[in-house]
Structure 1
Amino acid sequence: MEVISFSMLIILLFALFLISLPLLLFLIQNKSHSSKNTTMFPHGNMGWPIIGETLEFLKLGRKGIPEKFINDRMQKFSSKVFKTSLFGETMVVLCGPEGNKFLFSNENTLVKGWVPGSIRKIIPSAGNVSTNEGAIKMRKKLQTSFKLETLQKFIGKMDLAAKEHLTTHWDNKKEVLVFPLAKNYGFSLVCQLFMSLDDHVEAAKFYDHFAVLLAGLISIPIDLPGTSLHKAIGASNILRKYIAEIVRQRKLDIAERVESVPQDILSHMLLTSDENGQFLNDMEIADRIVGLLVAGHDTVSAAITFIVKYLAELPHIYEEVQNEQREILRSKPKGELLNWEDISRMKYSWNVAREAMRLASPAQGFFREAITNFTYAGFSIQKGWKIYWSTYSTHKDPNYFPNPETFDPSRFEGNGPAPYTYIPFGGGPHMCPGNVYARLVILVFMHNVVTRFKWEKIFADERIIIDPLPKPAKGLPIRLQPQCT
């Protein structure tokens, strides 16, 4: 047997100390908390040092039961608020419509927007959640690009894009894989509408980097070679440099008053200044465009995928949607593109889309940060703590949606769900500005797909998983049957 030298023993003991240090600090912190009046703070489980309960949070999503993380802790600790640790942060989860209302009503006074470190590393502007008046006004000006009045003029272009997509990728096919096609469609459309990138070959190369970015978006924020986060940061850098070149060329075209300058989101951003007359620089605009691409692409592709899924499973719902859309088609001169009047008639179709987003919300929830100490539901929330609200605390609660697993578009008739119970796009000042955009794109796609095809699922029991957004585990393969229009 070899004898360990004294110096080697010292090194081993020192290494053991370093490894154990986070656990010791964690235990000391918990002990100090327990010595206080713990009833002042939300109850919960902080999990492992540093990583907290992040792995459990992500694992349950990939198993297709993301709501279990929220529901189990609501039952164990409190139906209103509990504490955990996610993405390296102390995290308080506010539940139910009361929690949603509290957060949405106290934006920029008690809480502000916050995103996990992985997102901030990949999209730096995502961490720009300043609450000063100038920053707030700048965000509001940029959000005007997504108002209905602005987006109405793009409905015809959305219609053309949907027709082209179906002709290219669905026509003359016996089977298609819906989820990757929906992602392709969503990305191609945002490239066209946000920065007039109509070159499909160029957009396809662009998408390869974008897919790498998405894969690392929600991950443990450790940037080491080989990790999904490291790859995503590299892909983001490539994309932002690429878009910055487009920005520089667009600036030149605007300065030279080129007649063919596109009137898209990019042009609007270039012409929008803050209250002091300051404009964003090229890389800032490129960074924000990347963020918009993520938001505009993910919501649309996920929603379209699950609408197709539920229409395949529920023939009577499909027939109602098809009847509504065929009536609109018959009322228009042949070849005329959709317009806002047509969209406003798609009431049943939109209720179907909303029910699909209730059952499979494109976003699980969103994050906030406490900007001051405050009390909620009798518990003390500390400045700097991160706050999370989840769609799962209300979307599948039978108190607000009876028989919550049943697909029922009639839930949205009349006054619809109770306030703060249906929140696929969030709420308050930080409500997703793309909700109007998503509505238009989704309804235009529904119109085109149900008037051209009927379909059936190949795998009847295909699971829904979260990775990091909801998707069918096998990509939703379907068999197509063309329809006569």
Structure 2
Amino acid sequence: MYLTIIFLFISPILLSLLFLFRKHISHFSYPNLPPGKTGFPLIGESFSFLSAGRQGHPEKFITDRVRRFSSGVFKTHIFGSPTAVVTGASGNKFLFTNENKLVVSWWPDSVNKIFPSSMETSSKDEAKKLRMLLVPFLKPEALRRYVGVMDEIAHRHFETEWANQHQLVVFPLTKKFTFAIACRLFLSMDDPERVRKLEEPFDMVAKGVISVPIDLPGTRFNRAIKASRLLRKEVSMIVRSRKEELIKAGKASVKHDILSHMLMSIEEETKDEDLA
């Protein structure tokens, strides 16, 4: 009887592991794949990739495999996705000159779980649409308009975060400075308290994107999903407020930031949560 109970308990686990293993192997059963290792099912080589980053040498993950397989292209499996890593100048040139021809930009499934969308379009289409929307803001004449804003934020940042400090940890301060600029240029958000309110969940999301996609309580991935919901809620409120400004004040007098440009460029039926 005890053996039967143990068997009934273990069987689903073994079947699940077998399913994961077969699915993992199937990703790499195609012919003409580059050399490389697939690691363990689901996890792949994610831990090795993250370990190299924590040691301060993220490039070691790539250089070790390039040397081991004597190839500028190798296969691996990180963050739940089968991956081909292309290195070197010729490899980068191939990718960038053949986008939407031989290769297509995409987001791994883990990102889609952190940033779910009710829209029927794929994340690839959304990424392409976003790049097109950002083009006007990346032109030289547009970038010149941001110099004064960035200079103002830099002065304030140095006065509040760097001045009269006996010890400085530069990396987190640099992230804080970059995030403040992004909030100003994307959302015209200049209130330090509001920026600080978004900073922590944004940091959780950023860490979750480059983590093993295991959605269990306490994992980075799980915390990223929760933080994403909080971010979407906060940004959705900003989107709704800006929409009201556009209706009342008109397009000519509205703030000239990326959010306003997106609202004037996208379809009206797009939900605030999806835009956020």
Partners of 1:205 and 1:24 lie apart in 2 by 42
SS at structure 2 position matched to 1:107: coil
Partners of 1:28 and 1:279 lie apart in 2 by 42
Among 60, 65, 72, the alignment partner of 1:80 is 72
Instruction: Please tell me the residue identity of whatever aligns with 1:169.
Output: E
Query: Which residue pairs with 2:242 in the alignment?
Result: 250
SS at structure 1 position matched to 2:249: coil
Change (3 A) 1:173 1:19: same
Structure showing the higher strand proportion among its residues: 1
Change (3 A) 1:62 1:136: closer
Query: Which residue pairs with 1:185 in the alignment?
Result: 177
Change (3 A) 1:117 1:220: farther
Alignment deviations for residues 56-100 of structure 1 (CA, whole Å, 9 cap, x no partner): 111122122222221222122232322222222222222222211
Change (3 A) 1:10 1:122: closer
Instruction: Please tell me the residue identity of whatever aligns with 1:186.
Output: T
Structure showing the higher helix proportion among its residues: 2
Instruction: Please tell me the residue identity of whatever aligns with 1:92.
Output: A
Change (3 A) 1:12 1:87: same
Among 60, 65, 70, the alignment partner of 1:68 is 60
Return the structure number with greater relative CO, CA threshold 8 A, min gap 6.
1
Alignment deviations for residues 139-164 of structure 1 (CA, whole Å, 9 cap, x no partner): 31332222222221121121111111
Instruction: Please tell me the residue identity of whatever aligns with 1:281.
Output: K
Q: Map of 1:406-445 to 2, 5 A cutoff?
A: none
Partners of 1:195 and 1:16 lie apart in 2 by 47
Change (3 A) 1:10 1:72: same
Instruction: Please tell me the residue identity of whatever aligns with 2:243.
Output: K
Matched, 1:128 2:141: no
Instruction: Please tell me the residue identity of whatever aligns with 2:182.
Output: V
Query: Which residue pairs with 2:273 in the alignment?
Result: 283
Among 5, 18, 31, the alignment partner of 1:8 is 5
Partners of 1:145 and 1:279 lie apart in 2 by 24
Q: Which runs of 5+ in 1 are unaligned?
A: 287-485
Q: Is the 8 A contact 1:51 1:88 kept in 2?
A: yes
Change (3 A) 1:23 1:86: same
Partners of 1:137 and 1:10 lie apart in 2 by 52
Query: Which residue pairs with 2:257 in the alignment?
Result: 264
Alignment deviations for residues 192-239 of structure 1 (CA, whole Å, 9 cap, x no partner): 221111111122122222222223121111212221111111111111
Q: Is the 8 A contact 1:209 1:239 kept in 2?
A: yes
Partners of 1:281 and 1:224 lie apart in 2 by 29
Query: Which residue pairs with 1:209 in the alignment?
Result: 201
Q: Is the 8 A contact 1:119 1:218 kept in 2?
A: no
Query: Which residue pairs with 1:99 in the alignment?
Result: 91
Change (3 A) 1:255 1:216: same
Q: Is the 8 A contact 1:120 1:127 kept in 2?
A: no
TM (norm. structure 1) is 0.51
SS at structure 2 position matched to 1:109: coil
Instruction: Please tell me the residue identity of whatever aligns with 2:5.
Output: M
Structure 1 residue 177 displacement after superposition: 2.2
SS at structure 2 position matched to 1:271: helix
Instruction: Please tell me the residue identity of whatever aligns with 2:274.
Output: E
Identity of aligned residues (%): 42
Change (3 A) 1:47 1:244: same
Partners of 1:178 and 1:219 lie apart in 2 by 23
Q: Is the 8 A contact 1:79 1:96 kept in 2?
A: no
Q: Map of 1:330-345 to 2, 5 A cutoff?
A: none
Partners of 1:59 and 1:155 lie apart in 2 by 37
Among 169, 174, 182, the alignment partner of 2:166 is 174
Q: Is the 8 A contact 2:24 2:42 kept in 1?
A: no
Structure 1 residue 120 displacement after superposition: 2.2
Alignment deviations for residues 308-343 of structure 1 (CA, whole Å, 9 cap, x no partner): xxxxxxxxxxxxxxxxxxxxxxxxxxxxxxxxxxxx
Among 47, 51, 55, the alignment partner of 1:55 is 47
Alignment deviations for residues 404-438 of structure 1 (CA, whole Å, 9 cap, x no partner): xxxxxxxxxxxxxxxxxxxxxxxxxxxxxxxxxxx
Partners of 1:58 and 1:28 lie apart in 2 by 22
Partners of 1:27 and 1:181 lie apart in 2 by 40
TM (norm. structure 2) is 0.85
Change (3 A) 1:271 1:29: closer
Q: Is the 8 A contact 2:20 2:42 kept in 1?
A: no
Instruction: Please tell me the residue identity of whatever aligns with 1:282.
Output: D
Change (3 A) 1:196 1:84: same
Matched, 1:17 2:10: no
Number of residue pairs the alignment of both structures matches: 272
Q: CA RMSD in A?
A: 3.0
Q: Which runs of 5+ in 2 are unaligned?
A: none
Partners of 1:15 and 1:124 lie apart in 2 by 29
SS at structure 2 position matched to 1:91: strand
Structure 1 residue 12 displacement after superposition: 5.3
